Structure 1
Amino acid sequence: MPVVEIVLPLLTGFLCLSLGLYALRFRHRPGGLAISAFLGMAAITAFANGAEGWAQELSAKFAFRQIATFVYWSYDLVVLWVIYSLLRLRENSPLRFMLLIFCPMVVASILTLTNQWHGWMWSAMSVFSGQVVVSFTPLGQALRWYVIAMLIILVVLGTFLSRNLAPRWRDKVLWVMAGMSMPVWLAAAKMAFPNSLVQVFPTSLAFLPGSVCFLVALWRQQLFSFSPVARDRVFNLLPDGIMIVDRRGRILDANTSLRALIQLPEDTGTLRIRSVLRNYPAWREAIYMGGGSQLDIRIGEDDYQVVVQPLGEMHDAATVSTVRNITETQNLLRRLEHQSQRDPLTGVLNRRAFSETFAQRKQTLPDGPVGMMVLDLDDFKQVNDTYGHQAGDDALVQVATYIEDHLRPDDLLCRMGGEEFMVALWGIEPEALRARAELVRTAVETQMAAFSESGVTVSIGISYADSNADLEALFRDADAQVYHSKSNGKNQVSGPVQALSV
């Protein structure tokens, strides 16, 4: 039967080899490399069976049978590899299972190689319908049944574990399981019925329907990769940068936006994040942690938000990073924050921001001396009534500028409302506080002399605390001193030299 003995095995071999090379394209995807190895092993088995049917001499037939036999002993390990990589099993049981399988495989391989000297695996050979028929010893039969039993357990285990997957992944895994189980059932039938017609069919023929199952899984493509339309029309056209990294830190893919952003070459096959993201340690650490985090980074002059998420159970620790330019959003937030803290007219701190900053300073410098100035423009209502509110606003802006120009860099200035201002000064002694207040008063009087016929002046009240300063107490005392200045002729500084009792 040359068709069964030669043509079909060779056809199966070419089909498995083609599918194995195609699956090799997805070697970085979960299950891709393992499935490629499985199909390569199937191709070797099929070619060996075809060559066995083609050969005329018994020795040549047996040599090709030996090749198929050695592949046969490794079948369990490859099936376990496929299941492990597809389902990404994290527990230790698959590793123990691998040891359970591997030890008898080594024994069987050694006994097969040395059988001509001891005859422990088989005792006789013959040719039936172009194929070598081997009479196995009880030990050889036991090892063969062991292989079959392990294969059945593996396929059943893989099918059982796939029940926890999402439906869109589960049916693809089941197609792969079905493809791997075909040779198992044929081998079991040949061992269970040694004198039946099933012996005519080489075991590799079962890879033919099995290859069809693999072809369905690969053709659907959702098991491994994006569809071409999704990639070309969505993945590469998204304004956000996207990068996919496997559990070893290798960059599997990146879209056009991400490549342009961090200067990635087109071929990312050999790149790892430890070199590509060496300037972004927080991003790199988020990827190594397996995702589920969000962080802000700065690339060049722009702000970016990076969201790192795991790809899901089918991809083990692989992650996808989404990088979005948030420069405009950050600038808006900064403007809003600035506006929430600043007086809209003069640009100095408002009272809420002043109180918050004072509390922060108090925590960092709890024992330092603090001085307080409260400043109130003299006869400001007359300025508004005579020259209008626009002139009054201009006067407030100019006065705030002159006050700020004559303060120290760390002093806090705020507009409390109307024509009243407040200043907090850390690390200052009482004499220096009064001198600073006189400097501010003189500057306002001098600079604002030409603003109106009577000029613009300011009355100032000061207060002081050695340590543990209380804002309300300082303000009450300084505010009372302002009224003392106004009642004594205005345009002067009032306030005690001694510290408050707090």
Structure 2
Amino acid sequence: MSFLFTPLAALAGTAGLLAAGTCLLSLHNSRQPGSRWLTWLMAAVALWGFGAAMELSVQDVAAKVVWSKFEYLGTLTTPVLFMLLAADYNRLERLFRRRTLALLFAPPTVCFLLALTNAWHGLIWTSFTPSPAGHNLLIYGHGPAFWLGVVGYSHLACLVAGLFLLRALHIFPRQYRGQAWLLLAAALLPWAGNFLYLSGLSPLAGLDLTPLCFALTGVVLALDLFYFKLLCLVPIARAKALEAMGDGVLVLDPQGLVVDANPAAGQLLGQPTLSLIGQPLPCPALQAALETADAAPCEVVVSGTRFTVLDVRLHRLHEGDLTLGRLMVLRDITEKRLTEAALFEANWALKARVEEVQALQAELHEQVVRDPLTGAFNRRHLEETAATRLAQGRMSAAALVLIDIDRFKEVNDRHGHATGDAVLQYLTALLQDSTRTDDIVCRIGGEEFVVLLPGTHAEEAIEAVERWRQRFSQVPPEAGLPFEALGFSAGITLFPLHGQHLQTLLEAADTALYAAKRGGCNRVCLAPLPNQSATVPAR
């Protein structure tokens, strides 16, 4: 299964993450009215979004169909769950009986089974066509079950949800109606996205924006449910709210004396709450924050019974132009800062570990692609690098040289394998010193070497190999070898004249090398061109 990650796949994945985050938020606020159905709704949208991301990432049509079937878990249940959320808003408890829920989810269940077995009947999808817009999109042809069971039932459920919200506009008090309008506006987003998809007016043919629209709708619902308290407005006395707050609250007069404080403030400052009243701020760091920070948030460190880092926010209390005092809100962020410090240290340790692993991987890769005796690249590197560059057309022209040391067996027999190894190392150093950065020098076995010369034509290749041969035939004393002359035979092939694949070039070079050996050794031959019948001696 091949993957192609596109911006559209990222967009669908973002929709899934957005829905999953809203689902977790709703689950965290599970005691809030309406949170149960919002949790299920966002879970379905998350499945839809993640399925869409995978469908937009895989390239095989069969794999796309499999992920489309996975998407249908969310596609078919999302409208019903949205209707149930709207029913919960209207306190329609009779819709939540088990029998009623089973009836509501029966059509989606049937449609999902039809999607799973679509290959047998084609009632959901009739065809699969790559989108002309590209982006790895697929256009689905739809059958009668899709239009009736998927589109028809889903739109009916969304319509009923909209009617429930309209009903709430009339029966709820005025202070609730703005929130119902917000829900109704959010409900229109998926309709708009699905209309663009079904009508073919989507910006890209085959792109379904519905899961993203539902994810945005979920965010609006979460804000309305948990921030604006859409389903319940419980009046809480301000004094009780102040006492119950986890953040410390200090009310200061214009002179900076504490006139009121909640229990949390006393706990954060390590003093009884009543002892704070009528006194200046007990901590010099807070006093400095009061004098310098004004309304800007700041952080102070309080040293008392324990090390504490406080986030301090100041708000002016005024009536018209008259300043009555200031409100100081204290939040304990010690754990957050300690966690951040630990995370920072862990990140540095992880970074060092990653760099160590990368260095080890690079070293291991070098060991895998290098000949341990000579340090030249080996056949594996030649096959991986040269074959890939030739196949991808990254070279307009190239020469491949196959070199074999003449009478190397005699060297080993007369002087020993240590001397033979030194000859191999000497030739490797000569070739690496005489080639360019982009050239590839490989020892492919025994006394055979391959040199790939990108961007090199016949005459240039012949001249280069002749220089190597002449240098190799004149062994300098500092080389430490027990003879003054060595020789090699070489066969040259040209890309793309002799072939466009590595194996073809190697075979042609081997033929030319054989001709050089047969011609007396210590010579260079060019492989015959397609219209020639014999190899061409280089010199």
Higher RCO (CA-CA < 8 Å; seq separation 6+): 1
TM > 0.5 fold call: no
Query: What TM-score, normalized to structure 1?
Result: 0.42
TM-score (structure 2 length as normaliser): 0.39
